[in-house]
Structure 1
């Protein structure tokens, strides 16, 4: 085939890839929801953890600290920032401690104020009470508060609206200076923000983050004010941006390494370009398959999936290295196909086991990897030979490679006894190394700097934010039952607070009493005529004229006749965010949460909760049990993969001796990797386990090709050339990942980099033909 025709076919392949990319892109809905990489929750705590992780108010909370100028300037900037952000659609709630006015209760809800307030639980609307309230209003009208009181007076002479607004301030709020929240030292203004977007909605959180930064830039002006912004959403934005930067840098360096190594190895500028076509085909095919099979593609699937299918770069390398004069590329591809197929099928089997894991993210990873590997292998076998120069250099003619092989041929071979001893030593080190074997703490996987986490903890403490570990739950079949059960907890919660077991609490019933409570309070409201009579008696001899409080009478009458207020009636009001976050309505049940702050005695809280039909959940313990459950599923998948992989190799080789020889480097490398990681104090997590599969696939690939070379010296040299190029490209790629600041990428990189070294050395020591059998021909 002429060079012009080969170039035309390469361009045609590239055009096909561009068309495929155009078709895949519209279907590619990236997701950042970590729940897709979690197993199905089983316990109530696990179910709540999964709900809260993605949709709960805790995942939507952003904390802001303003420092720099004097307190009065900071207070003014805090208020300006609050006003700007509260008007934006990205935010449900923006709180800075500013005293809530009548606007806290929208006009259509104001007649309900006596049903929401606890006043009528202990006090009747009689003449004595109303007379005392009117006397206080006269004093208020002569005070600096007159401007705020006067507009309310005719409809609300008892100022129930302001009492409610004050009662709805956060239960454990910080001090107020100049009308807004400040830290204990009085040097930092504080704000708490709840976004509409969930914490792991990257686009929504990025939009909220950008809005806050823009608003702060306007508010700051030319002052020296500094802003700290923390919380799950802020961290997810920071992590996403840093991951993108590192991925871009690593991807660029990987590409340069791939191009440089292939150019040096094959002395041709065409090799890197042609070698990249199967890899690009694999990536696009994998993405397309996941986009078709699932509702959305998780970002981890894309990032990890491209790392996993990086092994496909080995396929064209093997084809390039086994080219020789007098043999067409098609013949070389046919000769390599049985060995290549065995490696591909075995690796695919390992990942197919994730389809039975019951975890959506792992299933996506399995589809992406299997489709990608199969596509790359088929492209290498049936498309790439048409583009290769039919008169290549033969790697077996390399003088330096021949000398290298002669030295390697003198290395002692590892026999069964030596392999068993090394395996036992490695297993012992892995099992008995100091420290925990498994890493169960999800927080340890976060790439958020410790200083940022400490700053977040400081702001949470200053703001009296709810405890992120403990929460009380009351589960009932409907909203009304949940609110009534919550109300029964109130005396117990107050006792726990008085005893110092907790510092504070918050619950939905604080904002929205049950319908039963509202109806009881309705019964305490006088009818129109009775109210007018006691009001006239209270006004007797005073300065207020008859009819001055007609609006008040009308409001009380509407409240007495109104249906009980329900959560749906709060939509669009400031109360909605608070109630929605503490009253979780799910299919078939309702969960009322009691957010706790400053939990000092969990045992006392758990006992008190149990007495009242509630349950104290430890979300840290729930996350650890979920991780352990997840790991158990992955380990079962790995065990199944090992059995199926062994069966695949047996079918291909049909010789017990060859099967053992091919599998031994992979199995021993796995033990050595575990031993090395544990020896340096690494606690193993899910990403180490998944990376072990990739490392095992590489080891199987190296061993199969050394076995394929047999005792033919020329084939041994070509195989050595291919494996050296493969292992160097893979090693450099994963060494870069091992240097990442992202814990997940670091775990993947370090595991696979160790695997490359161990598998390369062990394949030479165990699988290569003995020196005495090596000859100049077969």
Structure 2
């Protein structure tokens, strides 16, 4: 095929591929999808909880009176904080994306309706410890006070609610089962701001940033409209996981745009400085655009969604993929050969160099870090596309383009210096190696994943201030109950709740949110029924009726005490009612086993975990601890893949040139760079994460390319070869250096690691590999 035909087909196919990519791609900004592994059950559980856990979808809203506006308002008729909060709750309830919203000091109406439905089962759910509680619940001497309390409740504003229950449960035993729920809202009343604290449960997953961004705009819009009508007397504060998610989404989006722009501009400037040809730049950038499109399209087809960080890091590949055309152009310009002939000459080295880079990215993808799996796929197809286009398309595109010789000052001088003083340099290298190896024992590892999170101190302070008005239930720590069937799981959950009550009494736990009596095992129901029926003697019933008459209540309606019904309350039936929504987030579904969660308030993790020991199928689960565990796993896996990746690169180099000495020399600059950088970090006391290791893994795959080109030296001209390597080093530094401008910690860490690695490896190549003169 002629050069013109190749050029024409390339220009036709590129926009078609671009259109297909834009049609196929679905971009996500879910940090959880990028950072949380899913290769074991706990990691999968953590991932699911971060995505759609009940507490992770919850907003905490606090409305407070604006003192400045109040002072300016003088004697205007101002609505009460409680009344304004109720109006706001009604305004927010119909919004798209809102599941329900309620005042923090009052249970939602759906909850109260559900509590009323438990009255017929009062004899089976009145206590978690029926034998212990029977003494005071069925104390005949206290029945007078019980009847008086019932009368007072019937006459209270909640009389309608109590009346519905009392008709079926005159002793209000079912409410005794729900006393923990009552205590929860009583505690909240003491923390609330006069009714201005609201809880909003959203529908979208916590990290669906776009949906939550729209919801937060709608929430603030509703508040602003009401507040304006009230004379601007109030202010709204908002907290919750989705608030952080939306903020992170904004930061990452800005990082993607910034890194992509800076990386492209930096590579273009380096290219123009080297070759001074806009025509060559035009064709090379089109080749790289095609490689980027192919990589993105392949990633979009393999994965359901492409993460924005994949695109940000993928933009850095521009500086790597442009290396292959640049090697061709440097040699072509220096020796005045045709692009086609130069590509054929350099192809073995180009192919092996591309292969080792792919090996580095694939090894990175196998570290267990989910986001890097996407980047590995992206790199594989982008590099393969860039190599293929360089081999078969680029020569046709450059056929009529005049190429200028790329000259970098100091390159030839450094090569000559290394050649003249090789023995001394090797001696210094050996000494540096001997000093570096012992330093590795001082390496400090970062095992706290939160240190890799975005800096959101302002939001954290706001979150802390808002949560001060709410109960202390923590979304990231809970008691996890597991069993093979639901009945066993409920029995284990009840055993855990008894233990949690003991810990609460000991002051080790502020509060907890259990499943009893919303769900109660058949075994516990049977125990309650036995205790209830044994206590319901004729003497007790008569004493109760006497107490009712003294309280001037109807014995006809309230005096009949029935024994426990023969049929227990079935959990399967309960979960077909609105109670499933009440317990949403505590029933962890989609698992082979039954998994239940008991939410915890402020507590001492170590003491609480110790207090749960001995309970089958019960354990303490902390999202932070799981993330820290993942950090250690990622680190170990990254170090392992660093070694494996280097070994595989060595095998492929040996297959092309079966000479152990040449293989060792090819790998030596990259290995030495890794050793020296690790040693420097150790001596500086730098705290390293798995990201530092992954960055060095990538730098190895790039430095090995330098060793390959230096050893192969197909043109038998070390000076031009080193100029080509220097050119590719500059573009790599330009593209990866742009990552350092991002605020997402992942990007600067990778930028530093890769930049250091390729710089040191580049400088070591002529020092460690003997110069070959042009023949």
TM-score by length of 2: 0.82
1:564 aligned partner: 569
| Structure 2: gaps (5+ residues) | 71-78
The aligned counterpart of 1:319 is 328
Which residue does 1:628 correspond to in 2?
632
Deviation at 1:368, TM superposition (A): 2.2
Per-residue deviation, residues 579-619 of structure 1 (Å, max 9, x unmatched):
23223345442223332222237336524542676333455
Aligned partners of 1:609 and 1:616 also within 8 Å:
no
Q: Could you say what secondary structure the match of 2:487 adopts?
A: helix
Match of 1:342 among 320, 341, 352: 352
Residue 34 (1) aligns with residue 32 (2): yes
1:593–1:331: structure 2 CA closer, same or farther, 3 Å change rule?
Answer: same
Q: Quote the offset at 1:373 in angstroms.
A: 0.9
Aligned-residue CA RMSD (Å): 4.4
**SS at structure 2 position matched to 1:200:** coil
User: Cα distance 1:455–1:595, how it changes in 2: closer, same or farther (>3 A)?
Assistant: same
* CA-CA distance at 1:100 after TM superposition: 3.3
SS in structure 1 opposite 2:599?
Answer: strand
Which residue is equivalent to 1:749?
751
Distance 1:610 1:471, change over 3 A: farther
Distance 1:345 1:503, change over 3 A: same
* 1:576 matched to 2:580: yes
User: Aligned partners of 2:709 and 2:661: how far apart in 1?
Assistant: 16
**Structure 2 residue 731 is matched with structure 1 residue 729:** yes
Decide whether aligned partners of structure 1 residues 569 and 348 sit closer, same or farther in structure 2, where only a CA change above 3 A counts. Answer: same
Name which of 233, 242, 246 aligns with 2:255.
246
Cα deviation code 1:686-723 (max 9, x no counterpart): 222222122122222333334444796xx445444433
Contact 1:319 1:333 in 2 (8 A): yes
Residues 174 and 382 of structure 1: is their aligned pair in 2 closer, same or farther, counting only changes over 3 Å?
A: farther
Q: Which one is further off, 442-451 or 602-611?
A: 602-611
SS across alignment from 1:323: helix
Partner of 1:104: 111
User: Is 2:415 the counterpart of 1:418?
Assistant: no
CA positional deviation for 1:311? 0.9
1:166, distance to aligned residue in structure 2 (A)? 6.8
Which SS does the other structure have where 2:687 is aligned? coil
* Preserved contact between residue 357 and residue 637 of structure 1 (Cα < 8 Å): yes
> How far, CA to CA, are the matches of 1:693 and 1:640 in structure 2?
10
Distance 2:517 2:154 in 1: 30
Q: 1:559 to 1:75 in 2, by over 3 A?
A: farther
Which one of 163, 167, 181 corresponds to residue 168 of structure 1?
A: 181
Distance 1:286 1:170 in 2: 57
Quick check: 1:56–1:581 contact (8 Å CA) kept in 2?
yes
> Does the aligned pair in 1 maintain the 2:126–2:175 contact within 8 Å?
no
Alpha-carbon shift at residue 203 of structure 1 (Å): 4.2
* Structure 2 partner of 1:284: 293
Corresponding position of 2:671: 667
Task: From the superposition, tell whether residues 53 and 115 of structure 1 become closer, same or farther in structure 2 (CA, over 3 Å).
Answer: farther
Contact preservation (8 Å) 2:489, 2:595: yes
Please tell me whether the aligned partners of residues 63 and 229 of structure 1 are also in contact (alpha carbons under 8 angstroms): yes
Conservation of the 8 A alpha-carbon contact between 1:10 and 1:387: yes
Q: Distance in 2 between matches of 1:587 and 1:156?
A: 37
Q: 2:707 aligned with 1:703, yes or no?
A: yes
Equivalent pair of 1:309/1:373 in contact (CA under 8 Å): no
- Higher alpha-carbon deviation: 382-391 or 94-103: 94-103
Whether 1:439 and 2:446 are equivalent positions in the alignment is yes
Cα distance in structure 1, aligned partners of 2:310 and 2:124: 48
Structure 1 match to 2:505: 498
CA distance in 1, matches of 2:121, 2:400: 88
Give a deviation string over 1:644-690, Cα, whole Å, max 9, x none: 11122223344444433332221111223323444444322222222
Partner of 1:181: 192
Aligned to 1:232: 241
Q: What TM-score do the two structures reach when normalised by structure 1? A: 0.82
Number of matched residues? 749
Alpha carbons of 1:353 and 1:152: their partners in 2 closer, same or farther (altered >3 Å)?
closer
The alpha carbon displacement at 1:501 in A equals: 1.9
1:540-574 deviation per Cα after TM superposition (whole angstroms, max 9, x unaligned) = 69987899x59x99xx999947761426634563x
Select between 123-132 and 263-272 the one with higher mean Cα deviation. Answer: 123-132
Q: Retained in 2: the 8 A contact 1:92–1:194?
A: yes
Taking a change above 3 Å as real, the CA distance of residues 354 and 680 of structure 1, as seen in their structure-2 partners, is closer
Q: Secondary structure at the match of 1:471?
A: strand
Show CA shifts across 1:40-89 (max 9, x none). 566x8666545534443343343334445269754444433433344445
Write out per-residue CA displacement over residues 217-265 of structure 1, whole angstroms, 9 at most, x where no aligned residue: 3344352644443333222221121111122022112222222332332
CA contact (8 A) 1:181 1:191 kept: no
65-74 vs 372-381, greater mean Cα deviation: 65-74
1:383 aligns with 2:381: no
Q: Confirm whether residue 90 of structure 1 aligns to residue 97 of structure 2.
A: yes
| Residue segments in structure 1 that go unaligned for 5+ positions in a row | none
Question: SS of the residue aligned with 1:509?
Answer: coil
Offset at residue 468 of structure 1 (A): 5.8
Within the candidate set 587, 593, 599, 2:597 is matched to 593
* Whole-angstrom distance in 1 between the partners of 2:765 and 2:391: 25
Aligned to 2:107, what secondary structure does the other structure show?
coil
Alignment of 1:275-674 (within 5 A): 275-308=284-317, 310-324=319-333, 326-353=336-363, 361-390=371-400, 392-395=402-405, 401=408, 405-406=412-413, 409-411=416-418, 413-415=421-423, 416-432=426-442, 436=444, 438-457=445-464, 459-460=466-467, 462-467=469-474, 470-518=477-525, 524=532, 560=565, 564-566=569-571, 569-570=574-575, 573=578, 575-600=579-604, 602-603=606-607, 606-610=610-614, 614-617=618-621, 619-674=623-678
CA distance in 1, matches of 2:368, 2:157: 65
Q: Distance in 1 between matches of 2:31 and 2:563?
A: 46
Cα contact 1:501–1:602 (8 A) shared by 2: no
Return closer, same or farther for 1:56/1:302 CA change in 2, 3 Å cut-off: same
CA displacement 1:363-387 (0-9 Å, x = unmatched): 4333222222111101111011111
| Distance in 2 between residues matched to 1:26 and 1:146, nearest whole Å | 60
CA contact (8 A) 1:46 1:619 kept: no
Alpha-carbon separation, structure 2, partners of 1:596 and 1:256: 51
